[in-house]
Amino acid sequence: MSETRAEANAPGEEERVSPAAEPEAVETVEAAVRRQLGKALGGKRGVIEAAIPTITFTVAWLITEELKLSLYISGAVVVALLIVRVLQRSTVQFVLNSAFGIAIAAVFVAKSGNAADIALPGLIINAAYAVVMFISIITRWPVMGFLVGTMAEDPLSWRKDPGIVKLCTKLTWLLMAPNLVRLAVQVPLYAAIKMGLLSQEWVVAQLGLKYAMGWPLQIASFAAMGWVLARGRTPVSSPAA
């Protein structure tokens, strides 16, 4: 009888081994951040939708050299992307983001009549992001921590774990790096065009730099973040918390 019970318990004992592997199943901060970054970018489609309107403006301006017409064409592309999203009943968030960006650019270009100003909103946004992220780092409230907080019941619980704060600080530095690089390279070129030190033909180079230092730099930043995240396995909930 005892042997029968022992045999009956054997499967149960084997099943109890899986909870022993529970720490492997428990989501880590790194895994949570990787998933949230994917959501924030909207995947490949979100990245493409964010880039298409400005690319369209650039191509149209190079062909027509008409600022208003180029803006209209770019705006029409945004509307088309928006209609497709609505018809598919999927989120319009990323299309609206690109629409907002091109609308702000249109205001600057329309007021100045200078195609170089198509890059100005991007420079302002990069500067604002860099300032916000730097302040978050020096105050020990790194912006990446709030992304981690979305995975917990208490959105601010990550602040209780020094290890998570340290990890999020590293990630915030990496997230900020592309903004600083873009500003260091693009601001002097923009200023030179605006002051007449360089001709309007340099706008093409300026826009080329905008794309060359856009997603390639961002992808490099995410790759570096991915490397940091792949090396660590920080529990979402710290035992000390």
Q: How many CB atoms neighbour CB 211 within 10 A? A: 13
**pLDDT tens string for the chain (241 positions)?**
444 444 444 444 444 433 333 334 445 666 666 666 666 555 667 667 777 777 787 788 778 877 778 878 888 888 888 888 888 887 777 777 777 777 777 777 777 777 677 788 889 989 999 999 999 999 999 998 887 776 667 778 888 888 888 888 999 999 999 999 999 999 999 888 888 888 766 776 777 777 678 777 877 887 888 788 777 666 655 444 4
Q: What's the pLDDT score for residue 217?
A: 84
Could you tell me the CA-to-CA distances from 196 to 189, 192, 204 in Å, in that order?
A: 11, 6, 15
Q: What's the pLDDT score for residue 34?
A: 64
CA 41 centroid distance within chain? 5
Q: Find residue 235's DSSP bridge partners.
A: 28
Q: What's the pLDDT score for residue 42?
A: 57
Phi, then psi, of 240 in degrees rounded to 5: -75, -15
Asked whether the beta carbons of 172 and 142 are under 8 A apart, the reply is: yes
Place of tokens 């497709």: 84
The structure's pTM equals: 0.63
Task: Find the largest Cα–Cα distance for the chain.
Answer: 96
Asked whether the beta carbons of 174 and 218 are under 8 A apart, the reply is: no
Asked whether the beta carbons of 49 and 81 are under 8 A apart, the reply is: yes
Rounded CA separation 173/144 (Å) = 10
Q: What's the pLDDT score for residue 127?
A: 95
Q: What's the pLDDT score for residue 209?
A: 78
Asked whether the beta carbons of 28 and 216 are under 8 A apart, the reply is: no
Structure tokens at 39: 């959501």
Q: What's the pLDDT score for residue 43?
A: 60
